[in-house]
């Protein structure tokens, strides 16, 4: 049942399935009767967008596609190409409604910075409804129901160093060079929305915990774009129960 739920949600959020709700929205710039899960995820994305001063922005998908295309050809996008792509539309051009989602033609959305966390939350809700406890869910982001079956918290070792004791909450970690476009490993996949340039490698990794994995996921994605830890802490403070567990500089 958990696997079936993951498959169902991929049918909403996937960028690689032409029949997914997100792919249909990106293709037509309009989606009538959108799935409630898509509306819920985008609504949370909007809250994170505002709290991070626009650093979290799902409308970077055309920029991401441009980087992927140029990297495949062994080059990188020009400044002019990035500016022209960014001019296709931004978060303010997105309209959310229970009956319809619309955006400017040429825009595109990606939920890769929040979708894995959202799916972890949905699986947690499914298992919790069955009365199950003391489970750790890993969809790329971590969501703990209770603690370890033998007692104690779930011990999570962070890639950038250190550890977190996790119980009844979620944890997400992002890094500027966690995934890269080029073979040389210079250009990371998390982009500055305003310029389209990859995140500067000032952080080895940033780990955020929160009551929900979707929230932790989105906040950690934005955090690696922040120039200072104070900006990360300010964004996290806007969400009750969220905390910056680690922000390790490179």
pLDDT digits (tens, 9 = 90+) for 144-177: 999 999 999 999 999 999 999 999 999 999 999 9
Residue 107: phi and psi, rounded to 5, are -70, 165
185-214 pLDDT, tens digit per residue, is 999 999 999 999 999 999 999 999 999 999
Tell me the percentage of the chain whose pLDDT exceeds 90. Answer: 99
* SS3 track for the chain: CHHHHHHHHHHHHCCCCCCCHHHHHHHHCEEECCCHHHHHHHHHHHHHHHHCCCCCCHHHHHHHHHHHHHHHCCCCCCHHHHHHHHCCCCHHHCEECCCEEECCCCCCCCCCCCHHHHHHHHHHHHHHHCCCCCEEEECCCEEEECCCCCCCCEEEECCCCCEEEECCCEEEEECCCCCECCCCCCCECCECCCCCCECCCCEEEEEEEECCHHHHHHHHHHHCCCCCHHHHHHHHCCCCCCEEEEEEEC
Q: pLDDT tens-digit profile of 41-54?
A: 999 999 999 999 99
145 contact partners, CB below 8 Å, separation of at least 6: 124, 127, 128, 132, 133, 134, 135, 136, 137, 168
pLDDT band with cut points at 50, 70 and 90 for residue 100: very high
Asked if residues 31 and 98 have their Cβ atoms less than 8 Å apart, the reply is no
- pLDDT recorded at residue 58: 98
Mean pLDDT of the region 77-102:
96
Mean pLDDT of 67-78: 94
Q: Residue 163 has what pLDDT?
A: 96
**With contact defined as beta carbons under 8 Å apart, do 223 and 232 qualify?**
yes
pLDDT at 214: 98
């Amino acid at each position: 049942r958990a696997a079936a739920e993951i498959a169902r949600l991929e049918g909403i959020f996937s960028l690689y399935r032409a029949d997914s709700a997100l792919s249909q929205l990106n293709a037509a710039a309009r989606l009538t009767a959108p799935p409630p899960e898509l509306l819920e995820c985008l609504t949370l994305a909007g809250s994170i967008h505002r709290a991070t001063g626009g650093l979290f922005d799902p409308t970077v998908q055309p920029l991401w596609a441009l980087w992927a295309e140029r990297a495949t050809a062994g080059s990188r996008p020009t400044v002019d190409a990035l500016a022209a792509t960014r001019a296709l539309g931004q978060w303010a051009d997105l309209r959310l409604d229970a009956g319809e989602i619309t955006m400017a033609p040429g825009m595109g959305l990606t939920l890769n910075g929040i979708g894995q966390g959202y799916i972890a939350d949905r699986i947690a809700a499914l298992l919790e409804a069955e009365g199950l406890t003391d489970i750790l869910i890993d969809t790329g982001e971590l969501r703990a129901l209770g603690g370890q079956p033998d007692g104690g918290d779930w011990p999570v070792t962070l890639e950038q160093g250190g550890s977190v004791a996790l119980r009844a909450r979620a944890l997400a970690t992002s890094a500027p060079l966690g995934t890269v476009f080029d073979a040389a490993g210079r250009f990371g996949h998390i982009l500055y929305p305003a310029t389209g340039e990859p995140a500067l490698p000032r952080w080895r990794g940033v780990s955020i915990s929160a009551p929900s994995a979707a929230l932790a996921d989105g906040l950690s994605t934005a955090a690696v774009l922040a120039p200072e830890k104070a900006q990360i802490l300010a964004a996290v403070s806007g969400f009750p129960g969220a905390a910056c567990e680690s922000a390790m500089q490179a």
